[in-house]
Amino acid sequence: MGARLRGFFDIRSGEALPVSLTFLYIAVVVAAFLLAKPIRNALFLRQYGPYALAYVYAAVPLALSVFVPIYTRVAARLGQRAVTVWTLMFFASNVLLFWWLFRRHPFVLLPGVFYVWVNCFGIIAPVQAWSFANSQFDTRQAKRLFGVIGAGASFGAILGGLLARVLVRPVGDAINLLLVLAALILAAAVVVSIANAKIRRRGLARRGKRHRHPFGETLDEIRRTPYLRLTASMVFLVAIATQWTGFQLSVVADQRFGGSAEALTRFFGTFNFILGIVSLTVQLTLTASVLRRYGVALAILLLPSALGFGTAAILLLPVFWPVIMTNALDQGLRFSVDKATYELLYLPIAPGARARIKNAIDIVLNRAGDATGGVLLGLTTRGFAGLPGLNVGLRGTAAINLVLLTGWFAIAWRLRREYVRTIHETIRRHRLDAERHSRRVLDRSAVSALEQKLAADDPAAVRYALSIIEQEPGGIWRRPLHRLLHHDDPEIRRRALSILSASGDQTISPVVAEMLRDPDLAVRTEALLFLSQQVGIDPVARIQELGEFPDFSIRAGIAAFLASPGRARNLDAARVILEQMIAASGEAGARDRDEAARVLSLLPEVFPDLLVKLLDDEDPRIARVAVKALSRAGAAGVPLLQERLLEEDPALRYRIIAALNKLRRLHPEVQLDRKLIELLLAAEIGGHYRSHQVLGAVGETLPSGDPVMVAMRQSMEHELERIFRLMSLLFPEAQLQDAYVGLRSANPVIRANALEFLDNVLEPHLRQLVVPLLDPQTSLRERIIIADRLIGA
C-alpha cells in the first residue's frame, strides 16, 4: 500500500520521511490556525461587531514590529531549528494564558487582544512551516511534491473546521476550545522536534559564524532587485485584497448569526471544514498536475482571476451567497494551488538569503499591507481613529477591491516572466563561474608565468606556452611573440608567425620578408603565406627570386595572393588553384588540403562552398578548420551548412550544428530553415530515446564500467549536446546553453534551477519530450517506457 501511495504521488526514494513530516507539520499548524479563527471571530464579533475589524487589522503590524526583532535576534543566536520549536511552545503557553484570562479575569479589550494574537500566530507559524518545507526540497522536487505537501494545509483546514464545529458544544463553549488549540500547537512542536532529529535539512543548518543582516539592508535588497520588488508588491496587494474579502464574510456572518458566539463559531467552523475538503480535493488532484504541466506562469494567475470573478458578482449582487462564493474561491485556492505556487517563488533566491528575505516579505511587508488595508477599510466604511468614513457597504468595498485585484493580476503577469529571468540568472552565473574555472583564465600571475615560459631556454616549455596562447590569443602576447620569430627552434618560429598572422599583425612584415630566406622549409612557407595574404606581395616573383619552395606552399601562396583585395585580385584563378589542392587525395595530398584549409580560413566569405567540401576531409583537424571558418562566413555560409545538416556521420553533424550556433551568435539576423532544424531535432530526440532502449537492454548483461557501457554513455552525452545546440538554433533568445551547463553542475540546486528554467521556456510539446531525458529523478525504466510509446519497442 505504501509503495502504491508513493507511486501515485510520485514520492521517490529518500523522500517519504521528509514529505510525511512536512505534511504533518503544515497540517497541524493550519488546523490550529483555523480552529483559532472561528474562536477569534466569534468572540470579537459578539463584542464589537464587524466594522471594528479595521482597528485590529491595523494593530497586527504594530504587534509584529515588537515581536519580529526579538524573534530575529533569538533565531540568529539559537538557529532556525531550535527557535521554531521554542516559538511553538511560546504560542501554546500564550493560549493557556488567554484561556485563564477569559475564564477568570475578562476585560473589555481582551477579545481584541486575542484577535491580534491569532493573526500574529497565523502569520508566523505558517511562515515557519513553509520555510521548513523550502529547506527540504530543491526547485524540481518542490514542483513535484508541494502539491502533496500543500494538501497538509487542506487537511489541516478540514481538521480545524471539524474541531470548531463538533467540539464547541461538548467542551462547553468557544473559550474552552482554547485548550484544544493549545494541544494542537504543542503537537506541532513535537513534530518539528522529531524532524530536527531525523532529517538533515538543506540550507538551515550552518557551520561557522552566522552573519547578521540588518533589516534595513534586507529591505534595500528587496527594493533594488526587480524580482523581489515585484514579489513584495504582489504580497502587499494580496494582503489588502484578501483582507477585504474576509471582512465581507464577517459582515454577512454577523448579519445572519450576530449575538451568538456559539452560532458564529459553528458557522465559521463549518465553512472552514467544507472548504478544507474542497481545497484538499483540489490539492491532491490538480495542484501537482497544474504545476508540472503549466508551471508558475499560469498557476500564479488563478487566484486573482477567481477573486476578480467573485468580487464582480458581489458588485452586481451584494448579498450573502456571492460573498460566500468569493470567500470559498479564496480559501479553496489559497490553501492549495496558490500556496504551493507562492512558495515556489522563493526557490530561485539564494539559500543563504532566502529565509531573511522571506521573513521580511511574508511577516513585515505582508503585515504592512494589512495595516494599510485596515486603515483604508475604516476610512471607506465607518471611519478610523476619529476620522469620518465614506460609509460604503458591500458593493462599495467590492468596487474598490476589484481595482486592487486588477493591480494584483498585473503584477503577477509581470512576475511570471521575472521568475523565469531570475532562474536563468542563477544558472547563467553558474555558467560564467564554470567557464572562468574551466578556461585558462589569464590573470596577472598566469600572464607572468606564461611570459617566463615564452622566454625559457627549454624549447618544450616555449611550445607549451604557445599551445595555450593559440587557444587564448590576444594583443598582450605580441611583444614576446615578436622575439620568438628569431628563436633557434624552427617549429617555435613557425608557430609564433602563425599566431601573429591570424591576429593580422602587419608590423612584422619586414621581419617576415627576411624569414623567406629561413633555412627551414616550413618557416619559409608560413612567411610566404603571410606576405601573400597580409601584405599582398606577388608570391610568384618572390619564389623565382628565392628558389626552393614545395609545390603546396607555392600554390597556397599564389591562391592567397590572387584572392586578396587589390589590383591583382583574380578570384577565378584562385578558385582553380584551391580546387586542385582540395582534390589532392591520400596521405601525400594531406599537406595540400591543409594549406588550402588555412588559406580558406583567412577568407571564409570568399569561397564558402570550397570550405563545405573540406567538411568531409578524412583528417579531423582539416574538417575542424573548415567548420570554424564557415561559422565566420556570414549569411553566405548558412545555406551551405544547412544542406549538410542531415549528414549520417554524427561527428560531422555535430561540427555543422556547432558552426551554425556560432554563426547565429555572430550574425543574429540570419534566417534559418526552422522546418529542417525541427526535423533534425525530432530525429535526434528519437535517437536519444532509442539509445536509452539499447542502454536498458545492454545494461542487463554488462556492468556499468564495461568499455561498451562507457562508450554508449559518452555517445549519449554527444546526442544531448546536439539536441541542446539544435534547440538553441530554434530559440536563440532563450539562451539554452546556460541551462545545458547548469544541468552538468555538481550543485543539485543549480541542476534543479536549470530544469525549472527549461520547463518554463520550452514549448509544451518539446518540454514533454526533453525534460524527462534530463531530470535525474526520471529513471531509466521510465525513459524506456516513453521511448516505447514514442518510437516503438
pLDDT, tens digit (0-9, with 9 covering 90-100), for 702-738 = 787 788 788 888 888 888 889 989 998 888 876 787 7
Whole-number pLDDT of residue 441: 44
Q: Rounded CA gap, 142 and 133, in Å?
A: 8
**Tens of pLDDT, residues 308-362:** 999 999 999 999 999 999 999 998 887 677 777 887 788 778 767 777 888 788 8
Same fold, 2-201+215-435 and 604-672: no
- The three three-digit cell numbers of residue 197, written as one number: 532529529
Q: Of 144, 139, 134, give the one whose Cα is nearest residue 288.
A: 144
Cβ atoms < 10 Å from Cβ of 786: 16
Whole-number pLDDT of residue 542: 59
Asked if 396 contacts 247 with a C-beta cutoff of 8 angstroms, the reply is no
Half-sphere exposure of 676 (CA within 13 A, CB side): 13
Q: Of 122, 109, 101, give the one whose Cα is nearest residue 55.
A: 109
Lowest mean pLDDT among 292-301, 389-398, 598-607, 698-707: 598-607
Lowest mean pLDDT among 158-167, 297-306, 589-598: 589-598
- The three three-digit cell numbers of residue 592, written as one number: 595540400
The DSSP secondary structure of 598-616, one letter per residue, reads HHHHHSTTT-HHHHHHHTT
The H helix count followed by the E strand count for the chain is 36, 0
Q: What is the pTM of this model?
A: 0.64
Q: Higher confidence at residue 332 or residue 114?
A: 114
What's the mean pLDDT in 484-490? Answer: 87
Task: Give how far Cα 455 sits from Cα of 99, 489, 496, Å.
Answer: 86, 13, 13
* pLDDT score of 74 more than 60: yes
The DSSP H or E segment spanning 714 is: helix 707-730
Q: Rounded CA gap, 101 and 96, in Å?
A: 9
Lowest mean pLDDT among 227-236, 535-544, 568-577: 535-544
Band of pLDDT at residue 28, cut at 50, 70 and 90: very high
The DSSP secondary structure of 91-144, one letter per residue, reads HHHHHHHHHHHHHH---TTHHHHHHHHHHHHHHHHHHHHHHHHHHH--HHHHHH
* pLDDT score of 160 more than 70: yes
- The three three-digit cell numbers of residue 628, written as one number: 570554424
Burial class (CB in 10 A: 0-12, 13-18, 19+), 356: buried
The DSSP secondary structure of 470-484, one letter per residue, reads HHS--GGGHHHHHHH
- The three three-digit cell numbers of residue 366, written as one number: 505582508
Whole-number pLDDT of residue 602: 67
Q: Higher confidence at residue 93 or residue 46?
A: 93
Q: Which CATH architecture has domain 604-672?
A: Alpha Horseshoe (1.25)
* pLDDT score of 271 more than 90: no
- The three three-digit cell numbers of residue 453, written as one number: 615560459
Q: Rounded CA gap, 162 and 31, in Å?
A: 9
Residue 384 phi/psi, 5-degree rounding, is -150, 125
Q: Rounded CA gap, 664 and 778, in Å?
A: 33
Out of 434-448, 657-671, 743-757, the most confident range is 657-671
**Tens of pLDDT, residues 576-607:** 877 888 777 766 677 777 777 777 776 667 77
* pLDDT score of 791 more than 90: no
Chain mean pLDDT for the chain: 80
Whole-number pLDDT of residue 347: 73
Q: Rounded CA gap, 328 and 213, in Å?
A: 40
Alpha-carbon 42 to chain mean position: 45
What's the mean pLDDT in 139-150? Answer: 75
Cβ atoms < 10 Å from Cβ of 495: 23
* pLDDT score of 436 more than 90: no
DSSP category for residue 384: B
Q: Higher confidence at residue 625 or residue 461?
A: 461
- The three three-digit cell numbers of residue 365, written as one number: 511587508
* pLDDT score of 413 more than 50: yes
Whole-number pLDDT of residue 310: 95
- The three three-digit cell numbers of residue 144, written as one number: 513535484
* pLDDT score of 566 more than 70: no
Q: Rounded CA gap, 297 and 412, in Å?
A: 9
Looking at the domain 2-201+215-435, which fold is it? Growth Hormone; Chain: A; (1.20.1250)
What's the mean pLDDT in 522-536? Answer: 71
Q: Rounded CA gap, 195 and 24, in Å?
A: 10
What's the mean pLDDT in 221-230? Answer: 91
Whole-number pLDDT of residue 204: 39
Whole-number pLDDT of residue 776: 79
What's the mean pLDDT in 179-196? Answer: 92
Query: Cβ neighbours of residue 624 under 8 Å, at least 6 residues apart?
Result: 655
Whole-number pLDDT of residue 558: 67
Task: Give how far Cα 353 sits from Cα of 191, 221, 346, 727, Å.
Answer: 26, 10, 10, 33
Task: Give how far Cα 306 sits from Cα of 249, 328, 402, 405, 491, Å.
Answer: 16, 10, 11, 10, 75
Half-sphere exposure of 166 (CA within 13 A, CB side): 8
> Coil, helix or strand for 387?
strand
Asked if 150 contacts 335 with a C-beta cutoff of 8 angstroms, the reply is yes
What's the mean pLDDT in 149-169? Answer: 82
Band of pLDDT at residue 307, cut at 50, 70 and 90: very high
Asked if 153 contacts 26 with a C-beta cutoff of 8 angstroms, the reply is yes
- Percent of the chain predicted with pLDDT > 70: 84
Residue 387 phi/psi, 5-degree rounding, is -85, 140
- The three three-digit cell numbers of residue 774, written as one number: 534530463
What's the mean pLDDT in 4-17? Answer: 71
Whole-number pLDDT of residue 474: 59
> Coil, helix or strand for 391?
coil
Whole-number pLDDT of residue 521: 60
Q: Higher confidence at residue 269 or residue 184?
A: 184
Amino acid at 623: A
Strand partners, 387: 384
Whole-number pLDDT of residue 205: 41
Strand partners, 384: 387
Task: Give how far Cα 612 sits from Cα of 248, 385, 653, 668, 725, Å.
Answer: 73, 82, 12, 21, 20
- Percent of the chain predicted with pLDDT > 90: 17
Query: Cβ neighbours of residue 227 under 8 Å, at least 6 residues apart?
Result: 348, 415, 418, 419, 421, 422
Band of pLDDT at residue 207, cut at 50, 70 and 90: very low
**Tens of pLDDT, residues 641-700:** 888 888 787 887 888 888 888 888 877 888 888 888 888 999 999 999 988 888 888 877
Q: How far apart are the first and last CA of the chain?
A: 30
Q: Higher confidence at residue 35 or residue 537?
A: 35
Q: Higher confidence at residue 336 or residue 23?
A: 23
Instruction: Write out 681-695 in H/E/C secondary structure.
Output: HHHHHHHHHHHHHHH
Whole-number pLDDT of residue 211: 54
Matching residue, cell 553566405: 636
Whole-number pLDDT of residue 584: 79
Asked if 378 contacts 369 with a C-beta cutoff of 8 angstroms, the reply is no
Instruction: Write out 426-463 in H/E/C secondary structure.
Output: HHHHHHHHHHHHHCCCCCHHHHHHHHHHHCCCCHHHHH
The Cα angle at residue 686 between residues 680 and 688, in degrees rounded to 5: 105
Burial class (CB in 10 A: 0-12, 13-18, 19+), 172: exposed
Q: Where are the domains of the chain?
A: 2-201+215-435, 604-672, 675-793
DSSP category for residue 669: T
